[in-house]
Structure 1
Amino acid sequence: MKELGKINSLLINRFTDNGAYLALQEGGEVLLPKGYLDGTEEVGKEIEVFVYTDSEDRPVAVTSPPVALLDEFAVMEAKQITKIGAFMDWGLPKDLFVPNAEMGQNMEVGEKYLIRVCLDYKTERLIGVNKYEDFLLTDTQGFEAGQQIEVLVFDESDLGYKGLIEGNFEGLIYKNEVFKPMEIGDRVNAYVKKRRDDGKLDLQLLPSGREKYEEGAEKILEVLKVQKFLPLHDKSSPESIKELLGMSKKHFKQSIGQLYKAKKIEIKGDGISLV
Structure 2
Amino acid sequence: MQPGKTQTLKISEKNNSGWILEDNSGEKAFLSKIFIDEEKEVGEDIEVFIYQDDSKLKATTEIPLAEVGEFAVMSCVQSLPSGAFMDWGIIKDLFIPYKQQKTKIIEGKRYLVYLYVDEDLELITGTTKFKRNPQYENLPFQKGDKVNLIMMNESELGWNVVINKKYIGLIYASDVFKKLYPLSEEQGYIKEIREDGKIDVSLQPQGFENIDEFKQKILTRLEENFGLLHLSDKSSPEDIKDEVQMSKKNFKKAIGGLYKDKLIEILDDKIRLL
Give the TM-score category using the shorter length: 0.7 to 0.9
User: Could you tell me whether the CA contact under 8 Å between 1:213 and 1:255 is conserved in 2?
Assistant: yes
1:152 has 2:149 as partner: yes
User: What is the CA distance between 1:129 and its match in structure 2?
Assistant: 3.4
Structure 1 205/262 Cα, relative in aligned 2: closer, same or farther at 3 Å? same
Distance 2:210 2:42 in 1: 58
- The amino acid that maps onto 2:8 is N
User: Residues of 2 paired with 1:272 and 1:128: CA distance?
Assistant: 51
Counterpart in 2 of 1:86? 84
Partner of 1:14: 14
Q: What TM-score comes out, normalization by structure 2 length?
A: 0.76
Change (3 A) 1:9 1:264: same
Q: In 1, are the aligned partners of 2:10 and 2:45 still within 8 Å (CA)?
A: yes
Shift of 1:115: 0.7
Give unpaired runs (5+ residues) of structure 1.
Answer: none
Q: Which residue of structure 2 lines up, in the alignment, with residue 67 of structure 1?
A: 65
* Aligned residue identity for 1:37: I
Matched with 1:46 is: 45
Contact 1:191-1:206 at 8 Å conserved across structures: no
Question: Residue 200 of structure 1 corresponds to which residue in structure 2?
Answer: 198
Q: How many residues align?
A: 268
Q: Secondary structure at the match of 2:251?
A: helix
Measure how far apart 1:62 and its partner are: 0.9
Q: Distance in 2 between matches of 1:218 and 1:135?
A: 33
What do the CA deviations read for 1:140-195 (whole angstroms, capped 9, x no partner)?
89987x53241432411234322234666432113453234545252523131463
- 1:133 match: secondary structure: coil
Residue matched to 2:3 = 4
Partner of 1:77: 74
Q: Deviations over 1:194-231 (max 9, x none)?
A: 63x75422222223354566643343235446766213
What are the residue-to-residue correspondences of 1:88-237 with 2, within 5 Å? 88-109=86-107, 110-116=109-115, 118-133=116-131, 136-139=134-137, 146-159=143-156, 160-165=158-163, 169-180=167-178, 182-183=180-181, 184=183, 186-193=185-192, 195=194, 199-211=197-209, 215-224=213-222, 229-234=227-232
* Equivalent residue letter for 1:177: D
Gaps of 5+ in 2: none
Task: Pick closer, same or farther for the CA change 1:250–1:94 going to 2, 3 Å.
Answer: same
State the Cα deviation string for residues 4-33 of structure 1 (Å, max 9, x = none).
2232312241212x2223345555743211
Distance 1:93 1:141 in 2: 32
How far the C-alpha of 1:240 sits from its partner, in A, is 6.0
Q: Identity of counterpart residues, as a percentage? A: 33
CA distance in 1, matches of 2:256, 2:27: 71
Whether the aligned pair in 1 keeps the contact of 2:259 and 2:265 (CA below 8 Å) is yes
For residues 167 and 198 of structure 2, the distance between their equivalents in structure 1, rounded to whole angstroms, comes to 7
What TM-score does the superposition give when structure 1 sets the normalisation length? 0.75
